[in-house]
Amino acid sequence: MQLFGFGRRASAVAEDDEAARTAQLRKLAMEAVAADGKQQHEKAFELYTLLIEAMLKELPKITEPIKQDEWKKKIGGYITRAEQLKSRPQPKPRSNLVAKNDPFAHMILDEVLDQSPGVRWDDIAGLDLAKQILQEAIVLPTLRPDLFTGLCSPPRGALLFGPPGTGKTMLAKAIATEAKATFFTITASTLTSKWMGEGEKLVRALFEMARELQPSVIFMDEIDAVLSSRSASGEHEASRRLKNEFLVQMDGMASTTDDRVLVLGATNLPYELDEALLRRLEKRIYVPLPDAPARKALVEHLLGPHECRLCKRDMNHIVERSNGLSGSDLKQLCKEAAMGPLRSAGASLAHISRAELRPIDASDFAAAFARVRPSVSEATLDRFDAWNDAHGAAV
């Protein structure tokens, strides 16, 4: 029996060393993000560089594949941000929330700021019309603000609406990447607080930091959860004040015509949004279910890493039969089809090699279609079409 930890095993000592190294990396990451928030770009670049080098040294020591992939994604994000800082001119700060140790600014850095969405237009199958509108209305004005002035000035807000699982969040991240903008992503849970008045303070801090780090995109998924129609009765006072503060920050006294801050909302329930918000979300873009070319591109992309035995006729049949499925439905369909060879292996699956598995074929998709159903009804699609005709962006 060992008392007081004397004679500890080597594995326990190794675990302590790993925990200490992880704590050092976490501290270095926090210092880099804090310097970034203070717009100390040179210092942030140096800290990100040190962090990247330290994480690359630790990466070979990680044996778990899932954890290794997580680290690779984090390293890639830090590399992208370091490259942005290296090539980005120093913006003129208008306030210094982080330097004042504002708790709401730190909350934004910890929970809201996403420095590297890492999604580009080419990563999104289909949605060519939506991408074209967003490119002309948002991305190009951000890259060339000298040309988009006066009546050509870009919108302050945009709305992506449509059925669930159609790629609205992917489009938002692609906008931030293509426009080389700082990406803030917020949810209803981020803005709501049990303490009266903290929601409004967080909104003010969010917009002030977005102006400091502009060009910026403030993305709010499920925007209807926070900014639904204001009712005359039955609505909590804190909720009403939060909505008012958000609307004021979008185009009130705190903003200027030179600000390059875009508020981008996404919703599956556009008909529940407040009318005052709709006025500020000037570009309202319908993100529909994928059409035939988009479905084909998405299926081919999902099946890319797998061995398949599908002829052109089989692929055309899959595309035709998948009409009415959303992007997430198509992904589920392909996952079910990919399970076909594993299921057919039966009890021998425990000891056969990957090379012995048969390719995915048309029979697997036939079985998958029996398991996967559309997640969006015809009535819901009709309602989206009607709302788009009344309020959507004209093309």
Q: Which two tokens stand for residue 262?
A: 């875009």
- Distances in whole angstroms, Cα of residue 104 to Cα of each of 33, 194, 197, 204, 220: 15, 15, 12, 9, 17
In a domain, 97, yes or no: no
| Whether residue 297 sits in one domain with residue 284 | no
CB atoms within 10 A of CB 41: 17
CATH number of the domain residue 63 falls in = 1.20.58.80
User: Which CATH number covers residue 327?
Assistant: 1.10.8.60
Helices (H), the chain: 10-37, 41-58, 65-87, 103-111, 128-134, 140-143, 168-178, 188-191, 198-212, 237-251, 275-280, 292-303, 312-321, 327-345, 362-371, 378-391
Name the least confident of 144-148, 227-231, 320-324, 390-394: 227-231
User: How many structural domains comprise the chain?
Assistant: 3
User: Which whole number is the average pLDDT over 325-333?
Assistant: 94
Q: Are residues 296 and 275 in the same domain?
A: no
The enclosing domain of 184 has a CATH number of: 3.40.50.300
Is 361 inside any structural domain? yes
If asked whether residues 345 and 217 sit together in one domain, one would say no
For residues 163 and 278, membership in a common domain is answered with: yes
Considering 260, 289, 318, which residue would you say is the last residue of a domain?
Answer: 289
Which residue would you say has higher pLDDT here, 62 or 17? Answer: 62
State the residue range of the domain holding 316. Answer: 292-375
Answer whether residue 96 is part of any domain: no
Asked which of 263, 289, 315 is the last residue of a domain, the reply is 289
Q: Based on the fold, state whether residues 224 and 327 are members of the same structural domain.
A: no
- Inter-axis angle of helices 10-37 and 41-58, nearest 10: 160
How confident is the model over 172-199, as pLDDT tens digits? 888 888 887 788 888 777 776 545 567 7
237 shares its domain with 271:
yes
